[in-house]
Chains A and B, each alone.
Chain A
């Protein structure tokens, strides 16, 4: 896979991992149906050992595990993969199916527009809202103003 393709796929996989199965189904309602698929692996739940770095940027250490569910499907000529945090097999399977379909040039644009772009926008909006709430709690020191 070319570098650009890899970057695009990384992006949509991250968006799908952060969405819920319900979010994806809602967006898929406006798309042509996903092609039939064969499940090659899973969905199965396991663990990822997460890591941090000493001091934030030093040597790595093992922080603790998190649950993750993975699924691999084949649909059309494409292989779709998903690794998503949590234990929702339906989420992982749907994400893998969409990953496969997005690699099909005939399906890519509609799916990207209706699912990936829309979910990415919703996720960005949620992040922006959290950032605005945080900004409202930023301390405004008046010391400098009164010293002038």
Chain B
């Protein structure tokens, strides 16, 4: 049921959308924003919309942000709707984050790891003071450069793994499930959990990750490593019979390292949570890694007590497109539903009053 079913609704909707378009444009005396400006200068918003829209395309995400007036969940919704119009050509080969072209790579547990601590373009260590010079605009000076040795940057998990003190990645085989093809079913394997987390709402995952730090399913986390940079995407088209690169994409990866007391079958060691997100999305990757580890509680023989450890709870509520759909549908007309509820409440009240009168 929608307003169009009501006489006069159609015109009201058209007029409302016309006003929305004008409202979106804002004061015509102010220059209109270009999607290229959004893609270039609001990159973190674009990254978030790509991640939660689960579609890597900077131009489309920028357009969605413009169309949604900067409402990032609405923008992600637009991307999700758009993707349903396109055919699926292929699955990529798993990206190799060890071969990433590194822009940033830090570890909070090893100072002197091979490849070193590379800060990259980060907000860390800024003072979070508003920069009024930015309001005036202007060209920043070019970023300094330094000789780049050809040092490899092994993932920190591969370095510590050699001593057996940290759990390994596990077998690299098996065909992963795909949430976009089959509805979510439980128990959900780690493949499905990671897919859901990668497209999950950053705010929801941040809050859940935070809750684990505060004791709701404590995991004693350390940032083993965060890396940001570009990886190549490879597919193997059947008509070619060999793998080809189709381009690069920017990813943020987080290896969270967690204390683990051991169990009957596993000696004490560090366990791991994993985060991987489209774009430069450190908070998202970290939150994802915390929640990934929390959801492994049952697998590792820990008590499942906290919300972040409850796989069903997390996976059913992490998708902000589904969440916003269900919450926001409440504002659509429920006239008939409500009318029937009204009848019911009236009848119950009448019954209750009759009972009371009879008792007196």
**Which residue numbers of A lie inside 8 Å of B, CB to CB?**
6, 10, 13-14, 17-18, 44-68, 70, 72, 81, 83-87, 127-139, 141
Contact = CB atoms under 8 A, between A and B. Distances in A.
A3 B117 CA distance: 39
Given A50-B56, A81-B239, A134-B118, 9 more contacts: A14-B232, A18-B247, A48-B88, A50-B249, A55-B157, A59-B171, A62-B91, A70-B237, A81-B240
A48 B233 contact: yes
10 contacts: A51-B94, A53-B169, A58-B168, A62-B191, A63-B194, A63-B195, A64-B199, A65-B56, A86-B247, A87-B60
B89 A46 contact: yes
Given A55-B157, A57-B158, A57-B169, A46 B88 contact: yes
Given A51-B94, A57-B98, A136-B145, A64 B55 contact: yes
B120 A141 contact: no
B145 A14 contact: no
A10 B179 CA distance: 31
B108 to A, nearest CB: 12
A45 to B, nearest CB: 6
A61 B155 CA distance: 19
Name the residue in A13, A18, A136 with the highest tally of chain B Cβ atoms < 10 Å from its Cβ.
A136
B228 to A, nearest CB: 10
A138 B117 contact: yes
Q: Nearest 4 CB-CB pairs, A to B?
A: A85-B247, A58-B169, A14-B245, A66-B56
Interface string B214-247: 0000000000000000001101010110111111
A89 to B, nearest CB: 13
A45 B82 CA distance: 12
A86 to B, nearest CB: 7
Contacts of B103: 130, 133-134
A17 B248 CA distance: 9
Contact of B169 (A47, A56, A64, A135): A56
Nearest to A129: B145
A68 B246 contact: yes
A6 B169 CA distance: 32
Contact of B180 (A14, A49, A127): A49
Contact of B83 (A17, A18, A47, A57): A47
Indicate the size class of the contact surface on chain B: 35 or more
B233 A55 contact: no
Contact of A52 (B94, B171, B244): B94
Contacts of A139: 116-119
Interface string B103-124: 1100000011000111111000
Given A48-B91, A51-B92, A134-B102, A64 B56 contact: yes
A83 B235 contact: yes
A125 to B, nearest CB: 12
Given A54-B169, A56-B155, A65 B54 contact: yes
A39 B176 CA distance: 35
Interface in B119-150: 119-121, 143-149
B157 to A, nearest CB: 6
A130 B146 CA distance: 10
Contacts of B233: 48, 50, 66, 85
B248 to A, nearest CB: 7
Nearest to B170: A58
Given A56-B97, A56-B255, A132-B148, A48 B92 contact: yes
B272 to A, nearest CB: 6
Contacts of A10: 242-245
B59 interface: yes
B39 interface: no
B325 interface: no
A32 to B, nearest CB: 26
